[in-house]
């Protein structure tokens, strides 16, 4: 059946989703890549190739009827749609409705194909569909994703420029965190999706952490390398103590509660994100390599260069950072 597969990417216009769609469109075993996104951009359809057509549908992941329509005839779903908010600017109800309530919608019992495969769905080896078919799923997990169009890099660069090139940091110096280039994260999704079809008994129910050769120790130094490769004037500043940032966050919360509607200050860092930043989270694994032959498409040097080129090109037009985005 190669050349006749239909893939659906939810959140396919987002940071990671767009790169997944780009790579899927180059695979000769795929006939069509459908994109389902609430902020659909028609230019994504330009990724179509002679062998693979890319189509975009605007829709909300919470709208089951719209999602079911997009799922008709789909063999594989890559679920990347999510609402990411690190500044407490999105109502909790919206976050829960999209990230918790919306996720099961991507694997409804009415899927039309006898053997359907889903990435980024709730964990589970398989589940039976109402038509007698079997749904097989696996999960791809990434920690911090960087690369072209990464909102957090845009924000850090704007902050550094506002401080005459000084890039301060919050992490203790012994903190470790795995960063992965967006192109490699997307490639892992593509390989896992294909092998979930070819070797469902091996991949179904598995969780795979994303990895490449990006350094993990002292992640603030990695960020500095990314920014300074784009702009040599960016220099590493000093460590900001946890207590000082915590107090600033609380003060900002009070100001936001008192001043509106007369003045609405810019959103600030949340305590939850602050706690995440100062906590080490790293891992060592070759599971994706063993299970489905994953090898990073881009080395650390290539990833850094591509990111720097994007930052340099965008430097003149960078505006205020986005308050929330689709993930990762």
Q: Which residues contact 301 (CB under 8 A, 6 or more apart)?
A: none
Tally the C-alpha atoms within 13 A of residue 171's C-alpha that lie toward its C-beta: 21
Catalytic site residue from 7, 86, 146, 294: 146
Using CB atoms within 10 Å of the CB of residue 221, give its burial: 0 to 12 exposed, 13 to 18 middle, 19+ buried.
middle
d(CA 121, CA 100): 11
CA gyration radius for the chain?
A: 21
209 is catalytic: no
Print burial letters for 301-326: b (CB count within 10 Å at least 16), e (below 16). Answer: eebbebbbebbeebeeeeeebeebbb
Contact 22, 41 (CB under 8 A): no
Residues serving a catalytic function are 146
């Amino acid at each position: 059946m190669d050349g006749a597969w239909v893939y659906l990417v939810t959140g396919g216009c987002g940071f990671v989703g767009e790169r997944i769609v780009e790579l899927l469109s180059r695979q000769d075993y795929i006939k069509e890549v459908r994109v389902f996104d609430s902020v659909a951009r028609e230019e994504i359809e330009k990724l179509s190739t002679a062998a693979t057509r890319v189509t975009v549908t605007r829709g909300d992941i919470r709208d089951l009827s719209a999602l079911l329509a997009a799922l008709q005839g789909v063999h594989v779903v890559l679920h990347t749609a999510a609402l990411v908010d690190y500044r407490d600017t999105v109502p909790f109800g919206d976050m829960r409705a999209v990230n918790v309530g919306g996720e099961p919608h991507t694997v409804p019992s009415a899927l039309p194909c006898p053997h359907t495969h889903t990435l980024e769905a709730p964990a589970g080896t398989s589940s039976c569909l109402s038509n007698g078919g079997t749904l097989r799923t696996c999960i791809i997990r990434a920690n911090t994703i960087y690369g072209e169009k990464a909102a957090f890099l845009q924000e850090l660069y704007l902050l550094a420029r506002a401080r005459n090139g000084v890039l301060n940091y919050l992490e203790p110096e012994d903190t470790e965190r795995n960063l992965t280039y967006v192109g490699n994260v997307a490639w892992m999704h593509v390989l896992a999706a294909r092998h979930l079809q070819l070797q469902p008994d091996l991949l179904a129910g598995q969780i795979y952490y994303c990895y490449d050769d990006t350094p993990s120790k002292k992640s603030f130094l990695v960020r500095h390398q990314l920014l300074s490769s784009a702009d040599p004037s960016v220099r590493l500043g000093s460590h900001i103590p946890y207590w000082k940032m915590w107090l600033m966050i609380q003060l900002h919360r009070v100001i936001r509660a008192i001043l509106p509607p007369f003045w609405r200050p810019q959103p600030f860092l949340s305590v939850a994100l602050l706690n995440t930043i100062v906590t080490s989270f790293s891992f060592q694994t070759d599971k994706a390599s063993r299970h489905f032959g994953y090898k990073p498409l881009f080395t650390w040097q290539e990833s850094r260069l591509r990111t720097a080129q994007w930052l340099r090109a965008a430097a003149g037009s960078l505006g205020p950072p986005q308050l929330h985005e689709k993930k990762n």
